[in-house]
Amino acid sequence: MSLTLINVLFAVVAAIGFAALNAAYLVWCERKGAGFFQRRPGPMENGPWGLLQPPVDGIKLMTKQLVIPGGVDKALFMVAPVLAMFPAIMSFVTIPFSENIVAQNMNIGVLMIFAFASMGSMAILFAGWGSRNKYALMSSVRGVSQAIAYEVPMLITVITIVMITGSMDLRAIALDQSGGFWQWNILALTKSPLMPVSFLIFFVCTLAETNRAPFDLGEAESELVAGFHTEYSSMGFGLFFMGEYANIVIGSCLTTLLFLGGWGCPFGLFPGVWWFLLKIYLLIFTFIWIRWTFPRTTIYGLLNLSWKILIPFSLFNLLLTAGLLKVF
């Protein structure tokens, strides 16, 4: 494995490009999806079907004034949006899109992604603390307790998968599930009969980790105005916004790789990478669907769900899987 500078640069540029393109056009998808669920057309003005909306939005955000309110902790205030976007992009580097398409495969890919994912909550904390705004502070406190509560069951579920596969390499985990959809981890009932429940736990945790509705308590706009990014304008806000969508893509990629067989295809038809993209966009559609259907939970409802239901269940599943692995 030779790591040349050009290789690294190429990988980073590709990751940034993929993340930025996805973030921009997922906003369009989200708005179109919202329109679809709400019996209205969504953006239609810029370009055909509003397809030029994302670049126009980007120009608007970039040309607006970046207001730094008086009394903020300037360093934290400036660093937070970058910190929101950066881990999301870095996580793309190790995600395999098919057997060969991966920027940089690592044998500890899962660990790296979760290490970066926990940096995301630091961005929320910095933004809320640095903004010197009571709503932002309350939001950041919520954000951190939410991140802790949901990383625990998420990681326990991932440990279950890692135990089954015996590898932390995302590529190996996906390859392990190849050979038909009954081999996917979501349906691997012989390894552990609770696998579908594990998938549900992981999916709920992904929703919570990415601050998506119904767990978008960090930016609960009817309570905390705009939450941790209340004071942000211009591209500061833009980076948070893009970071959110990039995180959704990461979450969907991980769910696909860990549970849905990665690029594994049920019946051939077209190359694996298309299957991978199809799976992640179906998951993203589910994200959008959920957001525009459910009301928001409360912070205590969210914490109760995690500590009282998800964590005991995922722990039980972990023990069960470990036992079954030992027996068979």
Binding positions for other proteins, rule: CB under 8 A: 34, 37-40, 134-135, 138, 142, 213-214, 216-217, 220-223, 225, 292-301
In the three-class reduction of DSSP (H, G, I as helix; E, B as strand; rest coil), residue 260 is classed as coil
Q: Give the nearer residue to other proteins in terms of CB position, either 91 or 146.
A: 146
- What are the tokens at 319? 């023990």
Nearer to other proteins by Cβ, of 237 and 275: the residue is 237
Based on CB atoms, which residue is closest to other proteins, 169 or 216?
216
**Shortest spacing between CB 229 and other proteins, in angstroms:** 14
Identity of the residue, 300 or 328, whose beta carbon is nearer to other proteins in the bound complex: 300
Minimum distance between the CB of residue 208 and other proteins, rounded to whole angstroms? 14
**Among candidates 30, 22, 50, 92, which has minimal Cα distance to 285?**
30
Closest CA to 195 of 110, 49, 321: 321
Q: Which is nearer to other proteins, 225 or 320 (CB)?
A: 225
Q: Is the dihedral of CA 298, 258, 17, 31 positive or negative?
A: negative
Minimum distance, C-beta of residue 296 to other proteins, in the bound complex (Å): 3
Report the nearest approach of other proteins to the CB of residue 209 (Å). 18
Cβ neighbors of 298 (< 8 A, separation 6 or more) are 217
CB 145 to other proteins: min, Å: 11
Cα distance between residue 145 and residue 151, in whole Å:
10
Residue 23 and residue 89 in contact, taking contact as beta carbons nearer than 8 Å: no
Residue 143 CB, nearest approach to other proteins (Å): 13
In the complex, minimum distance from the CB of residue 138 to other proteins, in angstroms, rounded to a whole number: 6
| Closest alpha carbon to 237 in 225, 227, 245, 229 | 229
Helices (H), 195-233: 195-209, 221-224
For residue 143, which of 210, 231, 222 has the smallest C-alpha distance?
Answer: 210
Which CB atom, from 36 or from 114, has the smaller least distance to other proteins?
A: 36
Backbone angles phi, psi at 230, to 5 degrees: -55, -40
Tokens of 208: 């919570």
- Minimum Å distance from CB 123 to other proteins? 21
CA-closest candidate to residue 247, choices 199, 272, 215, 200: 215
Quick one: 4 or 222, whose CB is closer to other proteins?
A: 222
C-alpha 325/C-alpha 328 separation (Å) is 6
Residue number, 39 or 326, with CB nearest to other proteins: 39
